[in-house]
Chain A
Amino acid sequence: MADAITAAFGIAWLPAAVAVTGALLGMIADMNGRVRLGLRVIAIALLAAAALSLGRALLPADVTGSFVEQVFGVILVGSGFSGYAFVIFFLGFLSVGTGLTSVKRSSRVGVAALVALGSVAGQVLVGAFDLAIFFVSLEAIALVGYALVASAGTDRSDEAAARYFVQGAVATGLTVYGLAVVVGLGGGGTGYNAMLDGLVTLQPQAALLGVMLLVTAVAFKVGAFPFHSWAPDAYETAPPAAAAFMASGIKVAGLGAFVFLVGRAFSPDVLGQFDPALAATLAPITTVVLVISAASIAFGNLAALKQTSLARMLGYSGIAQVGYALVAVGSAVPGSAFFAATYGFGVAAAFLSIEALHVANPDWDGSISGLAGFAKHHPMSSFALAVSMLSLTGIPLTAGFWGKALVFLGAVDNGTIWIALVGVIGSVVSFGYYGRVIRSLYIDEPKAGEVATAETDAGVATDLTAKSVEPDGSGVCRWPAVVAAVVILAVGTIPMLTGMDWVSRVFSM
């Protein structure tokens, strides 16, 4: 029996299969008009997928041998990525768990199914050990992102989704160019090892060009400066519950993909073992990524400072957070992937609480100042939002602190202390806007009689009212935000007592 369980955990594709099955069953339920049942089925399937992934990450499962396992073994790698897949599936579960109340009733199950498919694409993406698989899953997950933004069904969200799509398409084009050089001019192999074999035979400049295109294009794809301008609109116009997955699960998968791509194929360590000459050729890539990182941190933080809308602020700050995930690029410390996961939980908790607060207060215009006094009436959602803000800033006792501490440690370890300094200064600036949210929630008094829309631009206000919460919208679930906040606090405190070993076990490559 125990062997059977271990064996089940050992099957890499099982979580994906469970999630896809759940999505299909949910759609069938939806066809029969059973929206609530459909959502429940998909949520449970995602939870099961998350549990399977976590089990595989924590249990020493080296059961291989089945045909499928062998095939997947070539294009996907070991147990490490399943810890990461757990994060993605779990974030999807939390997003669907809210009941997606801010989405139109008719498309709720569809959105939930998209979240499930996006999680599956995310699992494949972070496990990819083959450029073709990497590229296909990266596109698949991006498509889910476009659809989630558009799921609000308003003109503004359509526009935001179209902008997101166009900018994503440009990044895709760059990626394809990179692939063409790396794979086409190289040996033609798409597996990472075959690709590296091919790169050695190339002219150094050609190899540098191809890899540079590939690496930077993927960085842009996940929203690094200067390919970022879709983010604020997309975050603001998407329904908060769908944004909870778009901003966390998809971002986590994309960042993880970047970190693992560099870590598995292009890090100085891997290249150094493979071929020192190639490592020297590709050395400038680290510098380029660090420059992108510094620019993202600087731009994202400064732009977020000016925002009055909470979701828009999260969009700009997301650009900065992408920068943090790139700070420790090429480091041996497993910080970047862990950071991305903590960011995912942080931003998910934020959007999940926004969903709960938004549904409970249809009059709230989505502005930060409009949060005044919410802590009294919505203690749990406010608590979750405050915790997420602390975690996104990187204050100790939250998961975000360990994420940032590990990436900065990686940067110091690499000898690039300047980027760590840029990062911490950015963190200080970021409390300027994250702290304002906490201050609004807990300290500011609501101004009686004030027109709610007075302090924000009219666009924000009309858009959120256009989203028109339906009568059954009162059934929003508040627990996903609280669960995310509890995870953040647990990950922030427990490692101090148990050591960080499990972190590297779950998030190693």
Chain B
Amino acid sequence: MTLVLLIVIPILGAIVSAFAGRRSHTMPRLISLSSAVLTAGVSVVALLQLLGDADAIIAWSPTGEPGAVVFRLVSDGLAMPFVLLTALLGIVAVLASWKIEDAPGGHHALLLTLQAAVTTVFLAGTLLLFYVAWEAVLIPMFFLIGRWGHENRRHAALKFFIYTFAGSALMLVGLLVALTYTGSATMGDITRPIANDVQMWLFWLLAAGMLVKIPAWPFHTWLPDAHVEAPTAGSIMLAGVLLKMGGYGLMRVAIPYAPEGFKAAAPVIAALGIVGIVYGALMAFAQTDLKRLVAYSSVAHMGFVLVGISTGTALGFAGAILAMVSHGLVAGLLFLLVGSLYDRTHTREIARFGGLGASVPRWAMLFTFAALASLGLPGLSGFPGEFLAFVEGFGAWGWWMVPAGVGVFLAAVYNLSAVRRVNHGPLAGEWSDLADSGSVELVAAGLLSLGIVVLGIAPGLVLRLTDPVVGGIMTVLGGGS
């Protein structure tokens, strides 16, 4: 029952907020915030239930019996970190759009709908529900980018939709093939394993949707446009949780259903990951637009996730999961900060900033912190995941990982140079009386920073949840060889 509440509360909140928006400008954000907080509370309850459950799995379906209907929700250790991440970023996204003036009712309604859809992806207990939720995510995001985005939003919204739809449409065929060959629509019910030769192409069909979503180089071109043009809350959700759907999908669907196909494809996945790390870092370094810089850094970070997954080892998977959760927090924080800066200065041009450390010290401190987390400073959340992925990648792919090592170095270069160019140096005259981060923003940033520190010090909190599920995937992977 808790699981269905995780979806129903945001949807109800969305409906109420859409109608409240007609009467008042401030009602929607209050409704939106309370439903986001309530959802977060319920997800903590779900976490406690999961920890108390002997089989470490909780499920819900309207008829009570599994397999009868499409709408079946399941949460295990693999889904739970992402559900919690979504709930946390849901609150942050609401706070980030606290001051939105243009049709706040619709904006908050779409944010909550988006949160419900993403949560459904992570909780999907049947193959079809997985796809339904996966696509349903696109609709609110399309409107968020298109209606509340920046200058080039019309183009970015359609491009985002069509690119990701192209990947996921192929995934739909893959899911239907999986459904036909296993004879069961229930997620993970693979009593009738799929023939090896089918797995070889089935894996790629399934992975098509996920690789676009992650996004893996060279399917990433929608990402800079969509991230840059989206409103701040949209960017936070997009980078924070939507990208994670890709990695989650690989571990939840593509690899369990086509383990042999995955083994054959692993070198290619690793190569895409390594190229992504280097390419993302180089592109981030070359950007003159601060938001675009953060967007490209996502490509690099998600490259580590791909490398971690491609190793096919328990530690590699653990690294990938940690890297995803960490990137959700860090990218959320970076987009929050860049967005709030844009709200005040109406520019994202790095060259026009400088010396902001003197004029907006609180903002500058948070930005430095986020940049350090992004470059993978030990003790913050970026480190354990990418370190594990890197080490395991070295074990699996040997010297091919050297470029990724260069990528780690480049991450330090582009993050620190961004900090230097924005925070230090002489103060640009036009920003001398800039307002510093307000309390709403500090609360949002504080929540994320807390998560970054906790995860950096005690990554075991997440791994304790995911280990049993990853172990199960390892059995599937090992059993076939």
Contacts and interface: CB of A to CB of B under 8 A. Distances in A.
Given A436-B158, A439-B146, A439-B157, A412 B180 contact: yes
Interface string A390-424: 10000111000100010011001100010011001
B69 A498 contact: yes
A427 B169 contact: yes
Interface string A492-505: 00011111100000
Nearest to B167: A428
A428 B162 contact: yes
Given A395-B138, A424-B169, A443 B147 contact: yes
Given A395-B135, A443-B157, A408 B173 contact: yes
A69 interface: no
A412 B153 contact: no
B394 interface: no
Interface in B135-183: 135-136, 138-139, 142-143, 146-147, 153-154, 157-158, 161-162, 165-166, 169-170, 172-173, 176-177, 179-180
B147 to A, nearest CB: 6
Contact of B69 (A443, A444, A497): A497
A86 interface: no
A431 interface: yes
Contact of A397 (B136, B165, B169): B136
A496 B132 contact: yes
**Chain B interface category by residue count:** 35 or more
Interface string B191-205: 000000000000000
A408 B170 CA distance: 11
Residue of B63, B129, B176, B180 with highest tally of chain A CB at under 10 A = B176
A421 B146 contact: no
B131 interface: yes
A298 to B, nearest CB: 15
B138 A499 contact: no
A432 B165 CA distance: 11
Residue of A425, A431, A436, A495 with highest tally of chain B CB at under 10 A = A431
Interface in A424-454: 424-425, 427-428, 431-432, 435-436, 438-439, 442-444
Nearest to B172: A424
Interface string A344-380: 0000000000000000000000000000000000000
Interface string A466-509: 00000000000000000000000000000111111000000000
A496 B173 contact: no
Interface in B55-100: 62-63, 68-71
A395 B173 contact: no
Given A421-B170, A497-B62, A442 B143 contact: yes
A442 B69 contact: no
B478 to A, nearest CB: 29
Contacts of A408: 172-173, 176
Contact of B176 (A396, A412, A435, A497): A412
**Chain A interface category by residue count:** 20 to 34
B356 interface: no
A137 B204 CA distance: 47
Interface in B356-404: none
B177 A424 contact: no
A505 to B, nearest CB: 16
B270 interface: no
Nearest to A424: B169
Given A439-B154, A499-B68, A396 B132 contact: yes
B7 to A, nearest CB: 12
A443 B110 CA distance: 14
Interface in B184-216: none
Contact of B180 (A396, A401, A413): A413
A428 B159 CA distance: 11
A496 B180 contact: no
Contact of A496 (B69, B135, B147, B161): B69
A188 B240 CA distance: 69
B128 interface: yes
A299 B93 CA distance: 43
Nearest to A435: B158
A443 B148 CA distance: 9
Contacts of B169: 424-425, 427-428
A409 B179 contact: yes
Given A412-B176, A421-B173, A443-B153, A397 B166 contact: no
Given A412-B177, A413-B180, A428-B162, A444 B154 contact: yes
Contacts of B138: 395
Contacts of A396: 131-136
Contacts of A421: 170, 173
Given A413-B180, A497-B69, A420 B132 contact: no
A166 to B, nearest CB: 37
A405 B177 contact: no
A412 B154 contact: no
A397 B154 contact: no
24 contacts: A396-B135, A405-B128, A405-B176, A408-B172, A412-B177, A412-B180, A413-B180, A417-B177, A420-B176, A424-B173, A427-B165, A428-B165, A428-B166, A428-B169, A432-B158, A435-B161, A443-B147, A443-B157, A495-B70, A497-B62, A498-B62, A498-B69, A499-B68, A499-B69
Given A412-B177, A420-B176, 4 more contacts: A397-B136, A428-B166, A439-B154, A499-B63
Interface of A: 390, 395-397, 401, 405, 408-409, 412-413, 417, 420-421, 424-425, 427-428, 431-432, 435-436, 438-439, 442-444, 495-500
Which 8 pairs between the two chains have the least Cβ-Cβ distance?
A: A424-B169, A396-B132, A443-B146, A496-B71, A496-B70, A396-B135, A428-B166, A412-B176
